[in-house]
Amino acid sequence: MVKLAQIQVDARSPERLDKVVGPDRAARFAAVAHDTRELLAGRAVINVSSTARGGGVAELLQTLLAYARGVGVDTRWFVIEGTPEFFDITKRIHNNLYGTGGDGGPLGAAEHRIYDEVLHANAVELGAFVRPGDVVLLHDPQTAGLVAPAQQAGGIVVWRCHVGVDTPDDHVRRAWAWLRPYVEAADAFVFSRRAFAPEWVDGDALSVIAPSIDPFSAKNYDMSPDEALRVLRHVGLLAGADHPPPAPFVRRDGSLGRVDRHADILQTGPPPPSDVPLVVQASRWDRLKDMRGVMLGFAEHVDAGTDAHLVLAGPAVTGVADDPESGEVLAECALAWRDLPHAQRSRVHLACTPMRDPDEAAAIVNALQRHASVVVQKSLAEGFGLTVAEAMWKSRPIVASALGGIADQIVDGVHGLLVKDPTDLAAFGEATCRLLGDADLAQRLGAQARDRAGEEFLPDRHLEQWASLIARAVTG
């Protein structure tokens, strides 16, 4: 029995953004919000995605819906339900769209049948909410099969694809050939980069919109170094007293919360003391994030020259419903970790963050990113690195792969250091050591990254782009 879940997001007034965006941007945003509210009067903006927690899309929707509701737009969020076979197929498509084979399984008629059956059941439920003239925003391949039913219900349908590569290969072409019949008729398409769109997406229907972060969420608010220490001690990622107490943090709605769960940590011996430099990658357990490669690069090319420790943090593997490979990827990392010589192993910590309370989970990532001496994102493919934007906003020095959306986010040597070939572990190690060893450089790149994040990756810019796309779609 399919149960399309409606996710509750509380309204947030965008006025709290005023102090980070300044009066001119705030005034422009207020004007756009006013026009959008007038234009949409009586229409809902309905988002559909495949998970409410873990990963970039869930993170984004929390932010966008909260501020959209805050300016009086009736916007809602539904999460589809699927079977394990369905999510195996959609993960295969996701991996293919990133130019990799994934599990190597087929994409043919049998997969269409499984996919159609799940989405048909979800479409029936969605149909009860969509009214003629509503705007329906469908996110990623998991929801592509809802384009036609949402249009039949009278919706104006925008399909937003968050993944892609600059240069398509056979995997990419295969996935697009399979997806095309579902999405081709969408009223509009949104990609994070123009190069990600297949050639058959009509130029007029295509918008390029990069994601953004919420500077006031539990993930990004200005957590003090002391608060971060308390959080990391409590969850078990930094050495502290025997039983460090629960740590306070500020929730997305401004109320006080406390981190009282622990992280699940694989480590040899005690956690690192608070004064050793931490290199951190916080990502889903997805092969394309290359957590294992980060570990080997650190062990072989960073460990010996510094006293740094590495923390690889990802969501608890049961916490992300639409990601069937996460358990496997974590297990591969654990295996590689066990193979490291003892001295290296004791400087590498694999952590699963508790996901039950999204704000608590976010506060742990906030603390880790803020405490990090270097944040890394050594992805093998990336649509847009939210983790990169999060670290930029926190003025962290970053080492990241020069590909996909990251290449738009960071100018090498200005907002961080980019590694041209992410499989080049020596180059990754060298860049990381450079930042660990040169405090002035690290400080300068971090400050420039913060400025860039403030200019480009905040929700006002993002929502204005959506407003302009919705206005075009609604007025035909």
**How open is the CA angle 222-374-401, to the nearest 5 degrees?**
110
* Closer residue to ligand UDP in complex, CB, 153/406: 406
Tell me how many residues contact ligand UDP (CB under 6 A).
Answer: 17
* Closer residue to ligand UDP in complex, CB, 126/223: 223
Q: Give the interface segment with ligand UDP, choosing from 7-15, 53-61, 252-260, 301-309 (CB under 6 A).
A: 53-61
Q: Strand, coil or helix: what is 333?
A: helix
Q: Give residues with Cβ within 8 angstroms of 393, minimum separation 6.
A: 213, 215, 220, 449, 450, 453, 454, 457
Instruction: Name the minimum Å distance from CB 294 to ligand UDP.
Output: 13
Give the Cα separation of 188 and 176 in Å (integer): 16
Q: Give the interface segment with ligand UDP, choosing from 9-17, 106-114, 187-195, 380-388 (CB under 6 A).
A: 380-388
Q: Is residue 94 within 8 Å of 102, Cβ to Cβ? A: yes
Q: Is residue 51 within 8 Å of 83, Cβ to Cβ? A: no
* Closer residue to ligand UDP in complex, CB, 112/450: 450
User: Any contact of residue 214 with ligand UDP (CB under 6 A)?
Assistant: no
User: Any contact of residue 282 with ligand UDP (CB under 6 A)?
Assistant: yes
Q: Give the interface segment with ligand UDP, choosing from 33-41, 239-247, 276-284, 296-304 (CB under 6 A).
A: 276-284
* Closer residue to ligand UDP in complex, CB, 4/361: 361
Of 149, 198, 293, 385, the one binding ligand UDP (CB under 6 A) is 385
Residue nearest to ligand UDP (CB): 56
User: Any contact of residue 284 with ligand UDP (CB under 6 A)?
Assistant: yes
Q: 394 vs 11, 229, 452, CA distance in Å?
A: 25, 15, 11
> How many other C-beta atoms can be found within 10 angstroms of the C-beta atom of residue 424?
16
Of 361, 372, 419, 469, the one binding ligand UDP (CB under 6 A) is 361
* Closer residue to ligand UDP in complex, CB, 207/379: 379
User: Any contact of residue 55 with ligand UDP (CB under 6 A)?
Assistant: yes
Q: Give the interface segment with ligand UDP, choosing from 141-149, 337-345, 384-392, 465-473 (CB under 6 A).
A: 384-392
Q: Taken in order 290, 296, 300, 303, is the CA torsion positive or negative? A: positive
The mark string for 318-357 relative to ligand UDP (x by CB under 6 A, - otherwise) is -----------------------------------x----
Q: Give the interface segment with ligand UDP, choosing from 100-108, 131-139, 383-391, 423-431 (CB under 6 A).
A: 383-391
* Closer residue to ligand UDP in complex, CB, 59/111: 59
Q: Which of residues 225-244 bind ligand UDP (CB under 6 A)?
A: none
User: Any contact of residue 56 with ligand UDP (CB under 6 A)?
Assistant: yes
Pair of tokens at residue 108: 């043919």
Give the Cα separation of 96 and 171 in Å (integer): 5
Q: Give the interface segment with ligand UDP, choosing from 74-82, 109-117, 282-290, 292-300 (CB under 6 A).
A: 282-290
Q: Which residue, among 213, 254, 163, has the nearest Cα to 62 in the 3D structure?
A: 213
* Closer residue to ligand UDP in complex, CB, 43/251: 251
Q: Is residue 258 within 8 Å of 249, Cβ to Cβ? A: yes
User: Any contact of residue 59 with ligand UDP (CB under 6 A)?
Assistant: yes
* Closer residue to ligand UDP in complex, CB, 88/430: 88
User: Any contact of residue 390 with ligand UDP (CB under 6 A)?
Assistant: yes
Q: Give the interface segment with ligand UDP, choosing from 18-26, 179-187, 325-333, 381-389 (CB under 6 A).
A: 381-389
Q: Which residue, among 28, 394, 410, has the nearest Cα to 215 in the 3D structure?
A: 394
Q: 280 vs 118, 206, 236, 283, 310, CA distance in Å?
A: 38, 35, 15, 10, 6
Give the Cα separation of 347 and 416 in Å (integer): 24
Q: Which of residues 299-318 bind ligand UDP (CB under 6 A)?
A: 313-315
Backbone angles phi, psi at 31, to 5 degrees: -65, -45
Q: What is the dihedral of CA 166, 387, 93, 320, to 10 degrees?
A: 180
> How many other C-beta atoms can be found within 10 angstroms of the C-beta atom of residue 262?
15
Give the Cα separation of 224 and 206 in Å (integer): 41
For residue 158, which amino acid is it?
V
Give the Cα separation of 120 and 226 in Å (integer): 50
Q: Give the interface segment with ligand UDP, choosing from 14-22, 151-159, 194-202, 379-387 (CB under 6 A).
A: 379-387
Q: Which residues lie near ligand UDP (CB under 6 A)?
A: 55-56, 59, 219, 282-284, 313-315, 353, 361, 365, 385-387, 390
